[in-house]
Structure 1
Amino acid sequence: MSRFNIFSKAKSAPDTINRAGGEAYRTSAEYRLASLMLTSFVTDQFYRDANGALGELMGLIAKVEPGFAARAAIYARKEYGMRTITHAAAALLSKRLSGHPDAKAFYDQIVVRPDDMLEIRAALKLIGERKLTNAMKKGFAAAFDRFDGYQIAKYRADNKDIKLVDMVNLVHPVPTQRNAAALQALVDGTLTNTETWEAKLSAAGAEATSDKDKAKRKASAWADLLRENKLGYFALLRNLRNIIAQAPKLVPLACEQLVDEKRLRGSKVLPFRLLTAYKQFAGTDRNERKVLDAIERAADLACANMPQLDNTLVVIDNSGSMACGVAGSHHVKCNETGALFGFALAKRSGADLMEFGTSARMIPYRNSQTALDFAMNFEKNNKVGHGTDFKAIFGAAKRKYDRIVIFSDMQGWKGGHCPKDAFSAYRKRTGADPFLYSVDLAGYGSLQFPEDKVATMAGFSEKIFEIMAMAETDSLALINRVRAVEL
């Protein structure tokens, strides 16, 4: 059975060339599919564009067992909060799951928000499939049971090509006590969206009779949203600047909600989104400083489930390819995300910290420094060049470690050779036999290490730390988590 950490002593020589043109080790279709699902936002990356990612997804879904692909999609959607890549996977699985006993359950569970159904339907049309399968219809109909009138109104998508009312007419969900009135109003064309934050703020602006009245109404709308907990966590992050400008007295309440651990974990907001929000503020006034402090605390909470790893070396890739945006973002880069995770893990474990590129060096740090501050300055403090040479890691590591954690896109190319010999030389020189964690931040599908005691992980979510905590006692931790997904 294929698995994620599929390394053996027999596989001693590199057997493929990676996207940067360097030696690498080929991985299973299951590993490539999972790493793609957990890292791709279907946007352009340094070594792959959006269309390339979709093409790879199509090929990999054709190669793996459909039940595994379905579980990987559910895991990526529910645990990592990945949306677009899982919508595409759900569409591509339509024929492969035909007649599968878990097909209906898959199309029910892949839907977290009502618009997930609309995006899957749109993806299905893009690949030339005009009709929903019976499993899709039954699964989507069942998914409606989880949504109330507020959610149905919020995700009507009246301005989209595929509207929620179209989906209702296609799958005919059975009304429940929670949604019967909303579904009927949706079909009748009378359902209005008045309770979402977008609707409340729009109404406040439209009803104002003067600039002063508009400011007052906006402040009142923010007060209602925050005090009634009607502003989702991601919406809160996106609107911090508006709250400071339009309702400055509510900044303490907004900060309180930012550091609400239950809200943060329930939101599925990826930690790099906190860095995006953090970059908006310079801290030039009291309210901005309050918000920056709250975001820093939220980032610590987002990574709070990190394992305690004694005698560890944490290594962060600062090469040129890591300077590409995360999720097509113009605000946060892969190297910054690696720095956010890497520094937080190092501080948590009292670990040594290293950056590498063309060369490698140890990074001094203080426990008082925050992970967000470190991530913000990581790229500009580069002192290792912009190539990617994994061999440099083991030349710069001077002492014996029990484990080494590497955050990278895994596209080594400087000198062309994999670091196998350099790793062996480090082990011989120091007497170390470290467990090695390879954390893939790009999902390109090839690896740099063939050795035993290597755990491979992928993704931009704090969920990788849950897998990391189990990896040394369960070498199949990640694959077992995917297999455990219930359909």
Structure 2
Amino acid sequence: MKINAKATIKDKAVKLAGGFGLFAAKNSPEAALRRAVMANLLWEDNAYQDGKSIADTIKKLIPKTPPEIVYQIAYDARHIQKLRHVPLFIACQMTRHQTHRPLVGKLLSKIILRPDELTEFLALYWQEGKIPIAKQVKKGLATAFLKFDAYQLAKYNRKNTIKLKDVMFLVHPKPKTNEQAQLFKMLADNTLPTPDTWEVALSAGQDKYQTWCRLIAEHKLGALAYLRNLRNMQKVGVPNELIYQGLLSLNTKKLLPINYLSAAKHAPDFNDILEKMMLQSLANLPKLSGHSVFIVDVSGSMNSRVSSQSNMTRLDCAIAMAILASGLCETITLYATAGNDYTCIHQTQKLSNRMGFGLGNVILKAADNLGHGGIFTRQCLEFIQNDLQRQPNYQKPERLLVFSDSQDCDRVQKLPQPFANNNYIIDVSAHTHGINYQGVWSAEISGWSEHFLRFIAALEGMTLPLDDNQT
């Protein structure tokens, strides 16, 4: 994933925080597209912008952005940010433009990682009415179809309006082996074997205790399903020792930092191992040397839920990413900030340092005291710089990380002045405008993935081990 392109200074036609705050940075089409995509759960509302308007913005930005860049943004959103729907939406919109259409076949073959994404793409493609399927779409869907085995096809062979066999009949994937040809015939004839999933087993009335124990022992649970069912396993008496063993065997590559935090909230008995698993994603990365200053935005908009289907908030995302960063940075100083919307004055508090999930608890406590108002980035930075400079043997920090949704409420139209050698905004929202002013920040990085730390390390000139997503 590429770090967001810098914006030009100000867009005086747009104010942040619902039109009441600081003038937004003027984004290039590429920068705006990255902002809109990298923390986007398609159609979900943000604090100051509804999901439909964000989707409409993405539509408008795609033809203004070079096709190769759009391709890479969609690829990064799927493989690095681990988002499912918005990459499909981008691919769908690329088919509408002659300049972008030639890359659609290759893109679909790369971003479709589950069988149900085949049908979800066609649902998006036909959302505004049925139209002929473009050649590139057929090519991409047919190639993607060949990835899946009998278990995967059976697991996602649902009775939706568009079914897997409908996609197969429309795009005609060519089987590579006789076994695959037989598999496609079973899909067409509705004779695929019933998949051995936890949903099927429990809905069939099987004993819950025995079912969970068997599925754990046979490694039949995906990582996300496992984390989401920790409490259910405990409720029916599955031994904690067995649950621990299962956790250690999971393939966690597709998990986001927030998934561990969510699991810990619902099953606190497993906090220690969940914290260890979360930090393990950084095991191969070099330490970020020197003094790092963390600023976590605890303003009211950070309490917005990331999805109508989730109780997790933007603040939870920021906390998860701050926990990860604290595990990689050599030394840190931690602050939380919000403010008063009426007086337009910041409220910033220095917090005690903690490691792991303990850091999150410190931030949540500060949010209770400081939260509910907006963020005033310039004032906050001035306060923190003065606070640090009063310390004995003060030295300029190596890096500054602001974990925020960038919806600055300051009505005094002065730009923030970050003061470290390297200054980053880690933006956890999908708002199409923010405070990534050109020449002010080293970089803005959007999204919720642990990979933001790889980007920082790379930007600071460190040699990194190869990542699974590097091609």
| Shorter-chain TM band | 0.7 to 0.9
One-letter amino acid of the structure 1 residue matched with residue 128 of structure 2: I
1:351 equivalent to 2:332? Answer: yes
Partners of 2:92 and 2:324 lie apart in 1 by 37
- Secondary structure class of the residue paired with 2:424: strand
Once the two structures are TM-superposed, the CA of residue 165 in structure 1 deviates from its matched residue by 0.8
Amino acid at match of 1:239: N
For 1:264, the aligned partner's letter is: T
1:191 shift after superposition: 1.8
TM-score for the superposition, normalised by structure 2: 0.86
Structure with more of its chain in strand, by fraction: 2
Letter matched to residue 96 of structure 1? H
The aligned runs of 1:377-456 (5 Å cut-off) are 377=365, 379-380=367-368, 382-383=369-370, 386-397=373-384, 398-399=388-389, 400-420=396-416, 422-423=417-418, 434-448=421-435, 449-451=437-439, 454-456=442-444
Listed as ranges, the matches of 1:123-202 within 5 Å are 123-158=124-159, 160-177=160-177, 179-202=180-203
Closer/same/farther in 2, CA of residues 439 and 226 from structure 1, 3 Å limit:
same
What is the Cα deviation at residue 13 of structure 1?
5.7
SS at match of 2:288: coil
Q: Structure 1 residues 307, 25: closer, same or farther in 2, change over 3 A?
A: farther
Decide whether aligned partners of structure 1 residues 14 and 68 sit closer, same or farther in structure 2, where only a CA change above 3 A counts. closer
CA distance in 2: counterparts of 1:139 and 1:13, whole angstroms: 40
Q: Structure 1's 418 and 411: CA in aligned 2 closer, same or farther, altered over 3 A?
A: farther
Contact 2:37–2:86 (8 Å) recurs in 1 = yes
Residue 302 to residue 327, structure 1, CA distance change in 2 (3 Å): farther
| C-alpha contact (below 8 Å) 1:114/1:152 kept by paired residues | yes
1:79-478 alignment, distance < 5 Å:
79-96=80-97, 100-158=101-159, 160-177=160-177, 179-203=180-204, 205=205, 217-249=207-239, 251-260=240-249, 263-265=251-253, 268-281=254-267, 283=268, 289=269, 291-302=270-281, 304=283, 305=285, 307-349=287-329, 350-358=331-339, 359=346, 360-367=348-355, 370-374=358-362, 377=365, 379-380=367-368, 382-383=369-370, 386-397=373-384, 398-399=388-389, 400-420=396-416, 422-423=417-418, 434-448=421-435, 449-451=437-439, 454-473=442-461
Residues of 2 paired with 1:299 and 1:377: CA distance?
A: 22
The aligned residue for residue 39 of structure 1 is: 39
Shift, 1:99, TM fit: 7.9
Task: Look up the SS of the partner of 1:393 in the other structure.
Answer: helix
What is the Cα deviation at residue 371 of structure 1?
4.4
Cα pair 2:9 2:25 within 8 Å, conserved: no
Query: Is the 2:297–2:403 Cα contact (8 Å) retained in structure 1?
Result: yes
Residue 73 (structure 1) aligns with: 74
Structure holding more helix per residue: 1
C-alpha change, 1:131 and 1:434, in structure 2 (3 Å) is same
Is the contact made by 2:16 and 2:24 (CA closer than 8 Å) also made in structure 1? no
Alignment gaps of 5+ in structure 2: 340-345, 390-395
Shift of 1:343: 3.7
How many Å apart are 1:435 and its aligned residue?
1.4
Cα 1:62–1:13, aligned 2, differ >3 Å: closer, same or farther?
closer
Query: Cα–Cα, structure 1 residues 130 and 378, in superposed 2: closer, same or farther, change >3 Å?
Result: farther
- 2:302 maps to a residue whose letter is M
C-alpha distance in 2 between matches for 1:378 and 1:307: 27
Question: Mean Cα displacement is larger for which, 113-122 or 101-110?
Answer: 101-110
**CA shift digits 1:420-472 (9 cap, x unpaired):** 3x54xxx5xxxxx5211111111323332332551111001111111111122
Amino acid aligned to 1:332:
M
Deviations 1:169-220 (A, max 9, x none): 11111224453333211101222323222222223x1xxxxxxxx5xx3322
CA-CA distance at 1:414 after TM superposition = 2.5
Deviation at 1:340, TM superposition (A): 2.2
- In 2, are the aligned partners of 1:335 and 1:379 still within 8 Å (CA)? no
- The 8 Å contact of residues 307 and 468 in structure 1, kept in 2 or not, is answered as no
CA 1:434 to 1:329, structure 2 compared with 1: closer, same or farther past 3 Å?
Answer: farther
Q: Which amino acid aligns with 1:278?
A: A
Q: Contact 1:404–1:435 (CA<8 Å) still a contact in 2? A: yes
CA gap 1:124/1:418 in 2 versus in 1, 3 angstroms: farther
Over 3 Å counting, the alpha-carbon distance change for 1:338 and 1:136 in structure 2 is same
Check conservation: 2:326, 2:332, Cα contact below 8 A.
yes
Other structure's SS at 1:109 match: helix
Shift in Å, 1:330: 4.3
Distance 2:141 2:357 in 1: 47
Which region of structure 1 is more displaced relative to structure 2, 190-199 or 311-320?
190-199
Equivalent residue of 2:251, what SS?
Answer: helix
Tell me how far apart the structure 2 counterparts of residues 264 and 444 of structure 1 sit (CA, whole Å): 28
1:94 Cα shift? 1.3
Q: Secondary structure at the match of 2:132?
A: coil
**Structure 1 residue 294: deviation in Å?**
2.4
Cα gap change, 1:112/1:384 in structure 2, threshold over 3 Å: closer, same or farther?
A: closer
Q: Which of 458-467 and 90-99 deviates more? A: 90-99
User: 1:172 is aligned with what amino acid?
Assistant: H
Q: Deviations over 1:27-84 (max 9, x none)?
A: 1111111222210102111011121121111111121122221221111112221011
Letter in 2 for 1:331: N
Q: Does 1:6 align with 2:6?
A: yes
CA distance in 1 between partners of 2:426 and 2:286 (Å):
14
Distance 2:378 2:15 in 1: 16
Deviations 1:117-136 (A, max 9, x none): 11110011113352321111
2:16 aligns with: 19
User: For the Cα contact (< 8 Å) 1:306–1:466, is it kept in 2?
Assistant: no
Give the RMSD, CA atoms, in angstroms.
2.7
What is the letter of the counterpart of residue 246 of structure 1?
V
Structure 1: distance between partners of 2:40 and 2:356:
33
Does the CA-based 8 Å contact 1:390-1:418 persist in structure 2?
no
TM-score when normalising by structure 1: 0.83
1:28 — aligned with what? Answer: 28
Cα distance, 1:248–1:3 mapped onto 2, change above 3 Å: closer
